[in-house]
Chains A and B, each alone.
Chain A
Amino acid sequence: MKPVNDVGIAGWGVYIPKYRIKCSEIEAMWGFQPGYCRSLNVYEKAVAGVDEDTITIGYEAAKNAILRAKISPSEVGAIYVGTESKPYAVKPSITVIGEALGITPKTLGADLEFACRAAGEAIEASIGLIASGMIKYSLVIGADTAQASPGDVLEFTASSGGAAYVLAKRGDNTVAYFEGSFSYITDTPDFWRRPRSPYPYHGEQFTGDPAYFHHIISAVKGLMESLGLRSSDFDYAVFHQPNGRFPLKVASKLGFPKDKVLPGLITPYIGNTYNGSALIGLAAVLEQAKPDQRILLASFGSGSGSDAYSIIVEDGIEERVNLAPKVKDFLENKEYISYPLYAKFRGLIEKFEM
């Protein structure tokens, strides 16, 4: 898809909680074969503190994105958070975030759900709103505190973190723009969570090929066909990162060498932040990219769908990098915690209270 007027990125920001649990600790806790998580190319994951959730994580990421965009919060005309871990089942997260940032009341906004891909949908919707001239800036947040049943293999990767982007019309304060996008969605039973269930289920035989690989490959091929591009035209490729292995495998199937993927591959050090996953990877790439470089971004959400974007970096990006904490800063600022503390932080210990 390509709007009549190009839309781009004015600012980006991430937030990753400081707590980490080593995957070897989870292996030992539940009696997995030592080295199991290494086979997933994941070494440790970020854990939200006891007082953090999708709202506080999304808020911090958004604050950093607004700092880099150098705009006044009141200029934001839409706020979206893509998440599958809303603190309230009913009561929007974005009203708290918008109020705390000083964006409300004259704004659009909603929490969107499509597993890990909801923030991808928010980008598409924002491109439409901005290109049509209905709003000036949109704030798109992807944030999660992902749930995993204790002892499930998902526990090695399900983590907490988020990323936020301020989008604007190309040339209106932007430092990169969307050259085009392509979305691909089908009904696929690879992963779900029913209303009162605390943890998701995954349809094991659907997780890889029919879900992640089929949707991302279809979206990326559709994008490259519509823009007349080949994998060699891209300088970086960022994919949704459910573990550290899948992005490298999908890259090789699409003809991208490993060195174009590694700069945006963050999951091995923080786990899968769901709606934050690909968008934190993109932030890491923007923090080292040079003007005129081309970036492929491909989201994925179970259920299933993928959005592929071609992003061209513009002049002025380098002077925005140091206006807010970088992905690298969050990776370095960490504190390891034990499984019992992790269990408390994630609410895995059931207390019976009068």
Chain B
Amino acid sequence: MSMKFSIPKTWRERKPHYLLEATKCKNCGKIHYPPRTVCDKCGSRDLERTRLSGEGRIVSYTVQYVVLDGFRDYAPIIYAIVELKEGVRVLAPLTDVKPGDVKIGLKVKAVLRKVSEDGKLGLIRYAIKFKPLEAESQK
């Protein structure tokens, strides 16, 4: 049984994946997600960790019906680009919603879900997905 997941990568990315930890440039104020070590706007290395709100709107999305091995249970997988309140764009799957109910501009919030499992014996990966806010909060 060989593991397909990189265990160090799963560990290293846990904070961005679990609680939307990003970096904020202390020089120019730009927020980066996923976190960076050098600011891609001004080149500064003076960055601090910050947590994003997890609330935003769908900017674009795509529905994946043909999935990789091991992802059939999750199909169809809807991937969305979500613009958070902070102005940062995040690419993540949607959950608890059907393709026909997704539209651009839909208000969503981040939740923690299972995103993949390394077979029956390997690690389970958890990460942020987005789900629609309840109907009454869409205004």
B51 an interface residue at 8 Å Cβ cutoff? Answer: yes
* Interface-side segment among B12-20, B28-36, B39-47, B83-91: B12-20
**A53 surroundings in chain B (CB, below 8 A):** 114, 124
Count how many chain B residues have C-beta atoms less than 8 Å from C-beta atoms of the other chain.
Answer: 21
Q: Are B51 and A102 in contact (CB under 8 A)?
A: yes
Q: Mark A313-354, 1 if CB is under 8 A from B, else 0.
A: 000000000000000010001000000000010000001010
* Interface-side segment among A55-63, A164-172, A304-312: A55-63
Residues of B106-126 contacting chain A, CB below 8 A: 111-115, 124, 126
Q: Are B18 and A99 in contact (CB under 8 A)?
A: yes
B95 an interface residue at 8 Å Cβ cutoff? Answer: yes
A27 an interface residue at 8 Å Cβ cutoff? Answer: no
Q: Are A56 and B124 in contact (CB under 8 A)?
A: no
- Cα separation A100 to B96 with both chains bound (whole Å): 20
B57 an interface residue at 8 Å Cβ cutoff? Answer: no
B74 an interface residue at 8 Å Cβ cutoff? Answer: yes
* Interface-side segment among A44-52, A224-232, A286-294: A44-52
A101 nearest in chain B by CB position: B19
A354 nearest in chain B by CB position: B69
- Identify A344's interface contact among B70, B73, B126, CB under 8 A: B73
Q: Are B18 and A52 in contact (CB under 8 A)?
A: no
- Cα separation A52 to B114 with both chains bound (whole Å): 6
**B73 surroundings in chain A (CB, below 8 A):** 50, 344
**A96 surroundings in chain B (CB, below 8 A):** 18, 126
- Cα separation A87 to B118 with both chains bound (whole Å): 13
**B72 surroundings in chain A (CB, below 8 A):** 351
A interface: dominant SS:
loop
Q: Are A56 and B96 in contact (CB under 8 A)?
A: no
Q: Are B15 and A99 in contact (CB under 8 A)?
A: yes
A18 an interface residue at 8 Å Cβ cutoff? Answer: yes
B128 nearest in chain A by CB position: A100
Whether A56 contacts B111 in the complex (CB less than 8 A), given A49-B96, A100-B18, comes out as yes
**B19 surroundings in chain A (CB, below 8 A):** 99-102
**Chain A proximity of B92: nearest CB distance (Å):** 12
**Chain A proximity of B88: nearest CB distance (Å):** 19
Q: Are B113 and A88 in contact (CB under 8 A)?
A: no
Q: Mark A78-106, 1 if CB is under 8 A from B, else 0.
A: 00000000011000000010011110000
**B126 surroundings in chain A (CB, below 8 A):** 55-56, 96, 100
B24 an interface residue at 8 Å Cβ cutoff? Answer: no
The 7 closest A-B CB pairs, nearest first, are A100-B18, A51-B113, A51-B114, A59-B112, A50-B73, A56-B112, A100-B112
13 more contacts with CB within 8 A, not counting A51-B74, A55-B126, A100-B112, are: A18-B96, A51-B129, A52-B113, A53-B124, A55-B112, A60-B111, A87-B124, A88-B124, A96-B18, A96-B126, A99-B15, A329-B134, A333-B134
